[in-house]
Amino acid sequence: MTSSKLPQLEHALHNMKSLRTVLQWIPSHCGVQGNEEADRMAKLGAEDEQENNPVSRAEMKTIIKSLHRTPQPQDSYHLLSRPQQVVIFRLRTGHNRLNQHLHGKLHVVPSPMCSCGEAEQDTAHILRDCRNHQVLREEIWSLPESLHNKLYAPVAALQRTTIYISRSGLQV
């Protein structure tokens, strides 16, 4: 926005001074209602004959540079499947469907408390402490594992975290 490439968006956001604005990445190809339909429509549009739009010298230079750029090695997160990335992203950021977020930010549940009644339902609680999922946690992680490793470790550890979430029945 600081480069003035989107002046309409910048102007609209500037006029909303009293509102808190958050730009958030929304993953695609992961079953999010609406995204699948948008993807389908985009694919249909891509099948149509495209207009012949000339490319400027600057755009062509950018395209050529990107084609010859050395690929960067992928981190553990990017080695996960798209649905697994969504789970880890939501757990890492706290923008998820756990009671703490749904109560504190969105005000759609009456309490931030977990159904176990011991603490607020947040990422740390469900991955480390919730007694409702203790047996599953011990099955997935036979040895104690830090919260950091469950969210930022090599791909196998991240996959265990996504398996735990899936098998717990929690929607994040």
Using pLDDT thresholds of 50, 70 and 90, give the confidence band for residue 102.
very high
Report which of residues 95 and 41 the model is more confident about.
Answer: 95
With a pLDDT cut of 70, the percent of the chain lying above it is 81
Q: Does residue 142 surpass a pLDDT of 80? A: yes
Interval 158-169: pLDDT, tens: 999 999 999 999
Average pLDDT, integer, range 139-163: 96
List C-alpha distances in Å: 93 to 26, 47, 54, 116, 146: 13, 36, 41, 23, 17
Return left, alpha or beta for 28; rule: phi > 0 is left, psi -120 to 50 is alpha, else beta. Answer: beta
Interval 55-92: pLDDT, tens: 788 888 888 888 888 777 788 999 999 999 999 999 99
Helix 155-168 to helix 82-93 angle (10° resolution) is 80
Average pLDDT taken over every residue of the chain? 85
Claim: this prediction has a pTM higher than 0.75: no
On the CB side of 102, CA atoms within 13 Å amount to 17
The values of phi and psi at residue 18, to 5°, are -80, -10
Using pLDDT thresholds of 50, 70 and 90, give the confidence band for residue 106.
confident
Using pLDDT thresholds of 50, 70 and 90, give the confidence band for residue 29.
low
Number of neighbours of residue 94 by Cβ within 10 angstroms: 14
Q: Is 101 exposed, middle or buried (0-12, 13-18, 19+ CB in 10 A)?
A: buried
Q: Does residue 157 surpass a pLDDT of 70? A: yes
Average pLDDT, integer, range 42-48: 79
